[in-house]
Every structure is written in C-alpha cells, then in structure tokens.
Amino acid sequence: MNIKGRIAPGNLGDRTFGFILRFFSWATIALFLGMLVFLAQLSWEAIQTYGPKFWAGTDWNPPMEEFGAAPFIVGTLASSLIAVLIAAPVSVGTAVFLREIAPRQLSSFVAFLVELLAAIPSVVYGLWGVFVLAPVMRDQVQPFLAEWFGPETYFASALGHLATAFIYPFSLIGNLFGVWQISLSELSVKMMAIAHGLFDGPPLGLGLLTSGVVLAIMIIPTVTALSREVLMTVPDSVREGALGLGATRWEMIRIALLRTARAGLVGSVILGLGRAIGETMAVTMVIGNRNVIPNSLFEPAQTMASVIANEYNESDGLHLSSLAFVGLSLFLIALFVNLFARLLVRYLERGRYA
Amino acid sequence: MLELSARDRRRRVTNVIAIGALCVLGFLAITPLFFIFSYLILRGWGGLSLDFFLEIPKPVGEEGGGMANAISGSLVLLSLTAAFGVPIGMLCGIALSELKNSFTARVLRVAVDLLTSVPSIVIGLFAYAVIVVPMKGYSAWAGGFALSIVTVPIVARSTEEILKLVPRTVHEAGLALGIPRYKVLLRLILPGVRSGILTGVLLAMARVSGETAPLLFTAFSNSFGFRGLSSPTASLPVQIYTYATSHDETWRQLAWTGALVLVFVVFCLNLLTRFLVRKS
Amino acid sequence: MALDVSPEFNQKTGMGNLDGQNLEVEQKQIALETQKLSAWFGDHHVVKEISLSVEKNDVFALIGPSGCGKSTFIRCLNRLHEEGEGARVSGDVLIQGIGKSGGRENIYRSGVDPVSVRRRIGMVFQKPNPFPGLSIFENVASGLRLAQVVRRSVLEEVVETSLKQAALWDEVKDKLKKPGTSLSGGQQQRLCIARALAVRPQILLMDEPTSALDPISTARIEELVMKLRGEVTVMIVTHNMQQAARISSQTAFFLMGELVEVGPTNRIFTKPKESKTEQYITGRFG
C-alpha cells in the first residue's frame, strides 16, 4: 500500500488525446514566441544599424536610406489618444445606459446594434471615412474647431497654461537629475506653441483628427461591450443599497455603480486603446500618410501600422528591415498595453472577491 | 409632508440632466451604424449586378468589370482558415478547459490572450517572414496562414467559454459510466454544445472575412482570379482597399459595392449566430 | 485514530480476503469492502482510513453532516475522486470479481484501469446531469454505445429495460428522441439512474440523489431504490436521516472524515452505541 496515495494512470486513449491537446497547445505557444523571433530576425539589420535611437529619429527618408520611427510613434499615440478621449465617455455612458436606464428590450436591441457596429470590417470604416467623414470634417468640423479652439483663442491659451502647470513638476525632476535643463518660461513657451498649434493650419479633411474620430467610432463597440460586462459584475445589492439610502438614480450610478466598477472600466478603456493602437486599414486610408511629426491635429500624419501597410510592398533592404522594426515596436507596445489592462482588471477582480 | 428642499430640488434636476445625457450618449454610440449603412446602400447599391459577381476587373479607364477574382479569392482564403485555423483553435479551447490549471494550460491561456492583442498588420509581417520569404512569392497559403493565426485565439476562447458552461458533473457522469475521458468529451460533451461552438466559429469567420491588413503582403492580390494556392490571391477587403484609394471612378464604385457585399455577408453571419444562440 | 468498530463489523471484516473459504460468505456475500481507505484533497485529509464492507444486493446508507467526507468516500469507490485536481487516495477497495471462483479484486491494485472499474460500479450524482444535447434514448444508451455495443436491437432492448427499472419508461416511451434535458428534475434524475443501470453495474453508488428534488420526486426515487434491492448493491449517501431509515438495511455514520459507527439501520437509529451518533440522529448537531 502506498502511503502517499496514488494518482490516476490514465488509459491509452486518454494519454493519446492528452498528448494531442498538449502538442497543439505548445504549437500555439510556439507560434506566439515565434512571432517575436521572426520579427526580430526580419528587423535585424535595422536593429543593428540604429538600436534604440531608431525610436527617437525624426527623419524617415527611404531614398536617402534614413530611418527614424518617431513620426509614426507620435502619430500612433496621438490618433489613439484622440480616439480614447472621444470613445471613453461615449462607451461608458452607453454601457451605463444599457445597464441602468434602457428597458430590457431596448437595451438588448441597442446592444445588438453595437455588436453589428463591431462587426463592420476596418476597410469599410476606412472607405466611409475617406468619402463621407473626411469632407464633413474639412468643410464643417475643422473650420469650427479652428475658430473656437485654434490659435489665438482663449481655449488654446488656457490649455497651454494648464499643460505647463501639469508638466512643470516632471520637468523639475528632469532638471534635478541633469537629464535636461529647462526653465519655466521656456517650458511655457513650448506648451503655448503646442496648444496654439493644435487646431492650426488649413482644414484638409484627411489627417490626424479624422483618423482619431474614425478610430473612436471603431473602438466604441469594443469598449462598450467590455464596460457593460464590467457593470454586470456589480452586484445588485450595491445599487439597491444606494437607492435605499435615498440616492437619486444618477447619484446611485455615480456613487455605487461607477465607483465600484471604476478599475474595470479603466481596464476596458485601455483595452480599447490597445485596439486603436494596432488598427491599420481605416487609419491608413484617412490619416493622409505623411512621414513627419505633425504640429497640428489637422495635418496629415502616419502611424506605425499605416506606414507598414503603405510602404512594405515596395521596400527592400534596410527599408524593409526598418519597417519590420516598426512592426516589432508596434507589437511590443500593443502587448504592453494589453497586458497592463488585463493585469489591472484581474487585480481588481481578485480584490473584489477576496 | 414630502416637500422638497432646495437642495433636493437641485439633486432632482441634476438627476434628470445626467440621465438625459446618458440617453444621448447611448444614442450617439449607434448613430455611426446608420450613417455607414445608409452610405453603403446609397453608394454601393447602384453597382450591384450579376457582372459584379461574375466579371474580373477591367483596366483603369474602362467601364464595367466586377470583383469575381476577389470573391473567389476570399472564399479560398476563408476555406484555408476553416481548414487550419478553426480546428487548431478548437483544440486549444478544449486544451484550456480539459487541462485546466496545468502548466500547459496556464501558459496557453496567456499566449491566447496575447495573440488576440497582436495587431493584425504584425501578423501579416510574421506570415510574410515565415511563408512568403521561403516560398519566394505571395500566395494563398501565406494569406490562409495569416488569417488562421487571427482565428486561433478567437475560436479557442469561444470554445473554452462554451465548454465551461457544461457542469463538471456531466463529465463525471460520463466517467462514472466507465467511458474514457476523451470519449466522454468527444462523444458526449461536444455533441451537446455543438451549436455553441459553431456560433464561435461563425463569429470568427465573420471577423476574418473582413481582415485586410494581414493579407496585404501575404496573399497580396491579382486581377485575373484564382490560379492555385501558391500564387497571389485577391480578396474582397484588399480589393476594396486598393480600389478605394485609386483615382478611377469605376473602381471606386466597385469598392463601394464590394463593401456593401462584404458588410452584408458579415451581418448575415452575425444574425445567423444570434439565431443559433436563441435556438439553443 | 480511534476507529470504533462494532461487533458485527469485526465479524465481517474478520472473514478476511480469502476467496470464498469462509462459509459465511455463502450466506452473506460481500459486494464491496474497503480497507483503510484514505483520501486527500491536496494536504487536506478528508477520508481517514475507512474500513467497512457492504453486502451484496443490499441498500447501504452513509449519513453524516455535510463536509464529513461521505461523498468523497463513495467517489473513491469508483475511482472518480482521483480525477479531481490534487486528489490522492490510499488503501484498498475490494469488489467481487467476475471470475468463476467469485474471487475478489482490488480496484486500486496497480495496473487496474479506472475506466474498467467504473463500468462495474455505476454512479448517480446530486444534481441530475443528463448529457446536454443528447436525446433520452442516447442518454441511456451512451454507456453501452461507447463500449462498442452498436446493434440497434440490443440497445433498444437495454434502454427499455433500464428505463423500466428506473420507473421512467411509461413517461418517456413516446418521446425517446426528445433531449434528455427537456424532462423535469425528478425525471432527469431517474433518467440518470436508468443510464447508470444500462451498463449493468454490480454496485450503484448514489451521491445524495434526491437533495436537488422536490418531495414527490424524492419519494419516487426512494421507491425505486427499494425496488432495486435484490438486483443490485446500492450505496447511497444522504443527509436526510429519514431517508436512510426508510430505504437502507445498513447504515454508516461519518464524522470529520472518520467512520464513527456502522450497523443495521434499525439499530443505528434506535440504539446507537456511540454518543456522537446519538447526538447527530437526535438533531443536536449537523
């Protein structure tokens, strides 16, 4: 007799089946790891030539064999941020609307429409963006924005002051460690220039802002669905507790619902950000494709994904390798953002049920 | 008795405004659907004809032509995905639910999570490096490979979710009858959840049929129709992209009609899954 | 670990493992005997060196407060416990062999396939668990079909007898093609009993089979169990003491993973030897 006890030996069929499952599991895991390896191999020439400086380089000039990815990193981050700024309130609001306000049938109908919105292929959003949204942006939205928020407006000045106040403490830290030397007045001038430049320039239609809007429309269904799931996990007792204390519906939403689900909602917005960062086709079609760091939201730009889509087929040598390096960087950023969002959500879930 | 103080009145006003704002947001979220859909019909409907489905495209400047090459190519690519990506995804989903907390399953779960977050253009780059470079050319194989990678995590996830819904005791009932574990799963559990699994597969196919980025430099495109799995293959989304960014009016018309057809197919697949869900 | 052993029990285990040499075996055949059976979940010792024996074609009840290890114990008897994560078992379980001498077999002997053990020891679970998506017929036939019995006529016959044994035939004979999950809870549980009986097990383990059912369905299942007496050995876990008193002839009382007392049901409920048993059946704890 065995004191430690016995474990099931399993019969032949089970062992074979288990082997098959394990084989394909590890094949899929290998596929994922292989992605990193192959991308690194493909971009090896660029990695060797530039190293980390690649990300800081502002010039991308294929005929001159000069490659720096900063314009695309800026383009990706800027367009995704615009998208998230628009999408987050709309999505979370919609999720709350679906959970708390809409009657059951309306709620499931709207949820169904949102699902359909999520099903529309990226290239169709792009097509619509180019031929329908871009002209509207050019003729109506952008002139309006330029007038109210453009250069020499109160909004721009206020934004500049705000940004200076916000960034100044961080710049002090940089001064302290000798990373850079920048005075308050210099910083203020810079921030003012950025703030006044945001809505400057001719309204072209195609550009950073339009791609941000298209991206927002594309991630709204994702973020709405995720937020809705998060809100579903808030137990009814929390809501009823608030209502029982005499809270109005909105107070209940604000105090009980949103606060309880706060972290999960942030997680779902970040997952939406991850989607926006990796989105390719729609952005490629509406961003205008210019390999320069834009000064204004009206200017055409380029994202990491769109530059690959645009140039990869006509590239070779260092150009191809640099594009692959851009892809590798995009991969890593997307992974990081997703991992962060998932960890956040998981951490919170654990906190809630512990 | 129940008079409202000024404070309470303010609270009620805030409440009404906030609730109203939420309703507006909910409405705002779905307006793009109407805009996009109406423009698709407005611009695309006129180009719908038998020619669109049966003719290959004509050169720039000539009238007429269709997207037969892209439609057939898309079908080929989707078949390849169904043949490779879907079964592997299912096996991974089964592995996730069967091997539960084993080391393999834990690593696989992370890998599947991360695979869903890989930008599709990066998957295209990977397929380029793995298939196009060694084969020295664009091919349907490469496109099918790329689309399969998109499919695997989606199908794996949905399969796992469905299998999770089957209570542990149903597995045990099978085991208690003296049936080996794998037979319990394959013959007793899976047949019971097949509509659920099919739903996941259809959703994955709907998603994949609109994927463009992974195909740009794997399957690439052609303008004459399917010429074998080892040659460049056109697809509806890539063709829409190329034609939408062209300057030829006929081609742009084709792009709108193509988009209408594509969205129609994707919507039908989604509706079908809803029907399946309701039935089961 | 002080294991209280009643005289009858000593007498029975005293018969030893030798094949059919003891005369008493002729009179009272032992269907199943456990020897120092222990079970763990990880480091948690949930069943502690249980030794008891069960007579053939008898109804044997296991009672005790929840969490006392009685469910785990019977899950060890068809080697189902070890399918769980971190689960371990030690000790031996002997059942009547199918060989000519009626020699006994240890289901935990190394080399024994748990799958073949489970063909001979059926089980019914707490909650009715028909296979989803399978018809009533397919549910009952599943055990045989997957053991390569494919002749339709044989299957039909077995399904009918099993459903009759489970007292469900009259209710479902016209809708054998309907999904098993379309039946009511009580019917589903009888379907599960029919499914377990279809493979003709020597022993039928029932893990609180009525705890999820309404009183009327419960009564039907109890009736059914009493009818099965004489045909198959039944071991039933229950936390309903009246139920144990009604249907079983032997009862074992478990507490904290240990066997406190075992004996004829009548005696356990009228003159328990252990004060803990008395406290439990008089409702002072559990």
Grade residue A237 by pLDDT with cuts at 50, 70 and 90: confident
The amino acid sitting at C31 is: A
Distance from CA of B218 to the nearest CA of A (A): 10
Residue B112 contacts A, CB cutoff 8 Å = yes
Predicted interface score ipTM higher than 0.90: yes
pLDDT tens for each residue of C166-192: 989 999 999 999 999 999 999 999 999
User: Which of A327-331, C5-9, C75-79 has the highest mean predicted lDDT (pLDDT)?
Assistant: A327-331
**Would B201 be classed as within a structural domain?**
yes
CB contact under 8 A, B240 and A123: yes
- Please state at what angle helix A317-353 crosses helix A12-42, rounded to 10 degrees: 130
Helix (H) / strand (E) element for C24: namely helix C23-27
- pLDDT score at A352: 54
Grade residue A310 by pLDDT with cuts at 50, 70 and 90: very high
**How many A-C residue pairs are in contact by the CB < 8 A criterion?**
31
**How many structural domains is chain B composed of?**
1
- Percent of chain A predicted with pLDDT > 90: 55
User: Which of A200-204, B119-123, B192-196, C64-68 has the highest mean predicted lDDT (pLDDT)?
Assistant: B119-123
Grade residue C17 by pLDDT with cuts at 50, 70 and 90: very low
- Residues B188-217 have a mean pLDDT of 92
> Best residue in C142, C148, C197, C208 to probe B by mutation, most B CBs within 10 Å?
C142
Residue of C nearest to B167 (CA): C129
| C-beta separation of B116 from B157 below 8 A | yes
Grade residue B2 by pLDDT with cuts at 50, 70 and 90: low
- Percent of chain A predicted with pLDDT > 70: 95
CATH, residue B205: 1.10.3720.10
CB contact under 8 A, C123 and B173: yes
Residue C210 sits at the vertex; the CA angle it makes with C209 and C216, to the nearest 5 degrees, is: 145
With 70 as the cut, is the pLDDT of residue B42 above it?
yes
* Helix ranges restricted to H, chain B: 6-44, 50-54, 68-98, 103-117, 120-127, 133-135, 140-165, 168-176, 181-183, 194-209, 236-244, 249-279
| Chain mean pLDDT for chain C | 84
The closest CB to that of C88, out of A1, A6, A9, belongs to A6
Bridge partner residues of A207 (DSSP): none
Distance from CA of B126 to the nearest CA of A (A): 6
Q: Is C279 helix (H, G, I), strand (E, B) or coil?
A: helix
Interface of B with A in 114-133 (CB under 8 A): 114-115, 117-123, 125-126, 128-130
- Residues B90-117 have a mean pLDDT of 92
With 80 as the cut, is the pLDDT of residue A277 above it?
yes
Alpha carbon of A41 to those of A38, B130, C193, C204: distances in Å? 5, 11, 61, 62
The closest CB to that of A220, out of B29, B99, B120, belongs to B29
Q: How many CB atoms lie within 10 A of CB B47?
A: 20
| C-beta separation of C53 from C13 below 8 A | yes
Residues of C in contact with B192 (CB under 8 A): 131-134
Residue A38 contacts B, CB cutoff 8 Å = yes
Grade residue C285 by pLDDT with cuts at 50, 70 and 90: low
Residue B182 contacts A, CB cutoff 8 Å = yes
| C-beta separation of B159 from B90 below 8 A | yes
Higher pLDDT, C1 or C222: C222
Rounded CA-CA distance C243/C210 in Å is 10
- pLDDT score at C286: 53
State which residues form the domain around B225: 68-235
With 50 as the cut, is the pLDDT of residue A208 above it?
yes
- pLDDT score at A196: 87
Q: Is C130 helix (H, G, I), strand (E, B) or coil?
A: coil
Alpha carbon of B74 to those of A122, B67, C102: distances in Å? 16, 11, 67
Dihedral sign, Cα of residue C4, residue C10, residue C16, residue C17: negative
- pLDDT score at C283: 80
- pLDDT score at C87: 87
- Residues C231-249 have a mean pLDDT of 91
Backbone angles phi, psi at A117, to 5 degrees: -60, -35
Nearest to B201 by CA among B89, B40, B45, B67: B89
CB contact under 8 A, C127 and B172: no
Whats the size of chain C, residue-wise? Answer: 286
Grade residue B243 by pLDDT with cuts at 50, 70 and 90: very high
- pLDDT score at A346: 75
**Would B254 be classed as within a structural domain?**
no
**Would B56 be classed as within a structural domain?**
no
Residue where the block lists tokens 């493979």: C199
Alpha carbon of B212 to those of A280, B125, B215, B267: distances in Å? 9, 13, 5, 17
Q: CATH homologous superfamily for C7-281?
A: P-loop containing nucleotide triphosphate hydrolases (3.40.50.300)
Distance from CA of C148 to the nearest CA of B (A): 11
Rounded CA-CA distance A347/A349 in Å is 6
pLDDT tens for each residue of A117-163: 999 999 999 999 999 999 999 999 999 998 888 888 888 899 989 98
- pLDDT score at C100: 52
Distance from CA of A172 to the nearest CA of B (A): 36
Which chains form contacts with chain B, at 3 or more CB pairs under 8 Å? A, C
- Residues C104-129 have a mean pLDDT of 86
Rounded CA-CA distance B109/A207 in Å is 38
Helix (H) / strand (E) element for A109: namely helix A104-119
The closest CB to that of C85, out of B101, B175, B194, belongs to B101
**Pair of tokens at residue A284:** 């490629």
Distance from CA of A321 to the nearest CA of C (A): 48
The closest CB to that of B100, out of C85, C119, C143, belongs to C85
pLDDT tens for each residue of A68-88: 999 999 999 999 999 999 999
Residue A36 gets which letter from DSSP? H
With 50 as the cut, is the pLDDT of residue A1 above it?
no
- pLDDT score at B280: 62
- Percent of chain C predicted with pLDDT > 70: 87
Grade residue C99 by pLDDT with cuts at 50, 70 and 90: low
Rounded CA-CA distance C73/B23 in Å is 57
With 60 as the cut, is the pLDDT of residue A339 above it?
yes
pLDDT tens for each residue of C3-16: 444 444 444 444 44
CB contact under 8 A, C113 and A4: no
Distance from CA of C235 to the nearest CA of B (A): 14
Backbone angles phi, psi at C60, to 5 degrees: -115, 125
**Pair of tokens at residue A57:** 């380089």
- Residues C65-80 have a mean pLDDT of 90
Distance from CA of A5 to the nearest CA of C (A): 4
Rounded CA-CA distance A5/B219 in Å is 56
CB contact under 8 A, B237 and A121: yes
With 60 as the cut, is the pLDDT of residue B72 above it?
yes
Dihedral sign, Cα of residue C143, residue C147, residue C150, residue C156: negative
Q: What is the dihedral of CA A342, A345, A348, A349, to 10 degrees?
A: -100
The closest CB to that of B266, out of A25, A119, A217, belongs to A119
Residue of C nearest to A9 (CA): C113
Query: Would you list the domain boundaries of chain C?
Result: 7-281
Looking at the domain that runs over A46-57+79-150+198-353, which CATH code has it been given?
1.10.3720.10
